[in-house]
Amino acid sequence: MNKTLKATPPVQLWEVFIRSRSGLAHKHVGSLHAEDAELALQAARNLFTRRGEGLSIWVVPSHLIIASDPSEKGMLFEPALSKAYRHPTFYNVPEEVGHM
């Protein structure tokens, strides 16, 4: 054959986010292997929405996710632990408001 065939791109890892109901945020549900974006979306549908879990799917190449460094968790997160006043628990919510 004379023509050049495009080789299928190598398999990569994708993270899957599903929005289960209108008004909710997309939630991370797992990861999968796929060759490209379209196949990743299909695989996400096939793997993670079999029991009616989803209204919307996001897939993101895992390598594009920028993660915090676990060794920096002291610097990043511990300062917040001593600041209980940031939780809005000191306000009285009028009963008419109901569940916020």
CB of 15 to other proteins, least distance (A): 14
Identity of the residue, 26 or 48, whose beta carbon is nearer to other proteins in the bound complex: 48
CB of 35 to other proteins, least distance (A): 7
Identity of the residue, 32 or 57, whose beta carbon is nearer to other proteins in the bound complex: 32
3-state secondary structure of 26: coil
Identity of the residue, 3 or 87, whose beta carbon is nearer to other proteins in the bound complex: 3
Rounded CA separation 53/18 (Å): 8
What is the binding site for other proteins (CB under 8 A)?
1, 3, 5-8, 11, 32-36, 38-39, 42-43, 45-47, 50
Rounded CA separation 86/37 (Å): 41
CB of 79 to other proteins, least distance (A): 42
Give Cα separations from 12 to 40, 46, 59, 64, 67 (angstroms). Answer: 9, 17, 12, 12, 18
CB of 6 to other proteins, least distance (A): 6
Rounded CA separation 27/18 (Å): 5
